[in-house]
């Protein structure tokens, strides 16, 4: 496949959508009530003015001390730099002793990582060299000459807790002896390659398989031999079998078969221990849906007057349900094998102009709280992901007697929607302005630079996995 075909692939994966969460007010932490000076009782009055003076002095001193501490903590939480290490430690000790779990069935405290804001943290995202860890060429933004690197100076601050930085040793220990798989569209690949790069900073690894055509990146696999860990990426944009455009980007539409899972990942499903599912972007492209040898619907296809447009929500739900059934339901081949399945929510793109306008995603800072809202379609896709994950988790518990396999949701929609600055843009190409500024140039405003905001997806994934280990001790 040529670089031109690769550019077409990026365009097909991406659909321009405005995205950001509605504004919220962040209030100060509520402290326990402090004593305040009160009127003296009758007994105090009888004890004489000396005792009255002592009482007032003590009460006043206590009230003043509590007021001072309250102001100190308020300023520490909300006005001091949240990027400071001391501030992060204090906040995590006082109010954030939580870990992330999906449905909370084991009773441990939970952290909602989906709500929060991006805060300045100089150097926080400068963790690795994307060229050295086989990241896709089009996402090596620094290597391709992107001059502004401020997009690496932010970290995600959840609203109610602390998100620790990625710890390669902790992650590899949590998946020792396991097969970690990323299944879905190119955002699954984006996150999988981010994880390889994060782990490579501390652990030896080797690429054990890749597509014959390096541009394709439909199936890649790495090994981390010190801990007997395998990490695989399976490109299956609908999770089920699909032909047409997925095979040839020049084709006008997708042909999607809703009664048959994509063969490569489903054939390997019984070997997987940790599975991250990410999909959604290809459902926007014109598609014809088949079931049992018949056309049952289409979406955004013109000229099929006798076929109903079934939209994207129904196929999205159906394919996700099929994948979850294959992994933790009745379709699981090895029912004695327990696994953790993580369903990632939709990560919006940020095309503000035409896809081939060089300035279509040229922002250099995250959105502020309330600056953009998450769209209704993205919210609905998130709701479907949570509903299907909860249903699959309940079925797995019922089938396994309350233990074993686990289904979680990795809700990245808001944190991703607030990062229009984190995409390659025109720096999906090497030195795009070396010969001047072209009028038209393909831009990638869907995937994230590597390193970049997508690393935060894996910070949350680590918390999900380690919370499971803690709950089983």
> For this structure, is 47 an active site residue?
no
Laid out side by side, the sheet with 287-291 consists of: 240-244, 254-261, 287-291, 294-299
Answer yes or no: are the C-beta atoms of 348 and 413 closer than 8 Å: yes
> For this structure, is 356 an active site residue?
no
Answer yes or no: are the C-beta atoms of 166 and 455 closer than 8 Å: yes
Phi, psi torsion values for 222, nearest 5 degrees: -120, 155
d(CA 98, CA 87): 17
Q: Which of 9, 205, 429, 447 is catalytic?
A: 447
- Angle (nearest 5°) at CA 221 between 215 and 225: 140
Beta-carbon contacts of 64 under 8 Å, excluding residues fewer than 6 positions away, are: none
Q: How far apart are the first and last CA of the chain?
A: 49
**Closest of 109, 105, 102, 99 to residue 397, by C-alpha:** 105
> For this structure, is 194 an active site residue?
no
Answer yes or no: are the C-beta atoms of 408 and 396 closer than 8 Å: no
Q: Which of 405, 444, 455, 467 is catalytic?
A: 444
Q: Which of 6, 7, 114, 186 is catalytic?
A: 186
Laid out side by side, the sheet with 219-224 consists of: 206-209, 219-224, 229-235, 179-184, 274-278, 340-344, 406-410
Beta-carbon contacts of 342 under 8 Å, excluding residues fewer than 6 positions away, are: 274, 275, 276, 277, 407, 408, 409, 410, 461, 464
Answer yes or no: are the C-beta atoms of 237 and 189 closer than 8 Å: no
Chain-centre distance of CA 84, in angstroms? Answer: 24
d(CA 350, CA 355): 10
Catalogue the active-site residues: 186, 444, 447
């Amino acid at each position: 496949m040529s670089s031109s075909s690769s550019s077409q692939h990026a365009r097909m994966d991406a659909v321009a959508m405005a995205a950001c969460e509605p504004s919220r007010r962040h209030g100060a932490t509520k402290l326990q009530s402090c004593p305040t000076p009160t009127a003296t009782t009758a007994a105090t009055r009888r004890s004489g003015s000396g005792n009255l003076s002592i009482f007032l002095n003590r009460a006043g001193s206590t009230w003043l001390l509590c007021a001072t501490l309250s102001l100190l903590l308020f300023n520490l939480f909300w006005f001091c730099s949240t990027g400071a290490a001391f501030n992060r430690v204090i906040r995590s000790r006082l109010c954030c002793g939580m870990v992330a779990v999906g449905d909370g069935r084991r009773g441990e405290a939970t952290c909602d990582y989906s709500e929060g804001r991006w805060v300045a943290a100089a150097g926080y995202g400068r963790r690795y060299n994307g060229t050295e860890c086989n990241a896709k060429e089009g996402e090596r933004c620094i290597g391709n000459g992107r001059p502004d690197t401020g997009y690496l100076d932010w970290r995600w601050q959840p609203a109610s807790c602390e998100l620790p930085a990625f710890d390669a040793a902790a992650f590899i220990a949590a998946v020792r002896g396991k097969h970690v798989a990323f299944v879905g569209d190119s955002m699954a690949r984006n996150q999988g390659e981010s994880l390889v790069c994060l782990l490579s900073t501390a652990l030896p690894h080797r690429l054990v398989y890749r597509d014959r055509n390096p541009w394709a990146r439909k199936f890649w696999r790495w090994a981390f031999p010190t801990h007997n860990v395998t990490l695989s990426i399976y490109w299956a944009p609908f999770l089920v079998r699909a032909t047409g455009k997925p095979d040839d980007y020049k084709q006008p539409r997708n042909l999607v078969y809703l009664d048959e899972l994509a063969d490569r990942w489903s054939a390997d499903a019984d070997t997987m221990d940790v599975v991250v599912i990410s999909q959604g972007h290809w459902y926007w492209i014109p598609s014809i849906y088949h079931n049992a040898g018949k056309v049952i619907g289409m979406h955004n296809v013109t000229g099929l007057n006798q076929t109903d447009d079934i939209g994207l929500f129904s196929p999205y739900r159906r394919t996700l349900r099929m994948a979850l059934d294959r992994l933790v339901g009745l379709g699981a081949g090895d029912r004695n094998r327990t696994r953790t399945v993580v369903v990632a929510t939709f990560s919006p793109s940020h095309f503000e102009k035409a896809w081939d306008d060089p300035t279509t995603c040229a922002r250099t800072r995250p959105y502020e709280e309330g600056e953009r809202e998450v769209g209704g379609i993205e919210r609905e896709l998130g709701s479907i992901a949570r509903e299907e994950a909860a249903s699959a988790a309940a079925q797995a518990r019922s089938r396994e007697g309350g233990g074993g396999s686990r289904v979680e949701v990795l809700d990245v929609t808001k944190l991703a929607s607030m990062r229009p600055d984190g995409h390659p843009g025109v720096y999906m190409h090497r030195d795009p302005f070396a010969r001047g500024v072209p009028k038209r140039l393909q831009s990638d405003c869907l995937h994230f630079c590597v390193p970049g905001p997508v690393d935060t997806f894996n910070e949350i994934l680590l918390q999900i996995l380690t919370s499971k280990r803690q709950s089983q001790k």
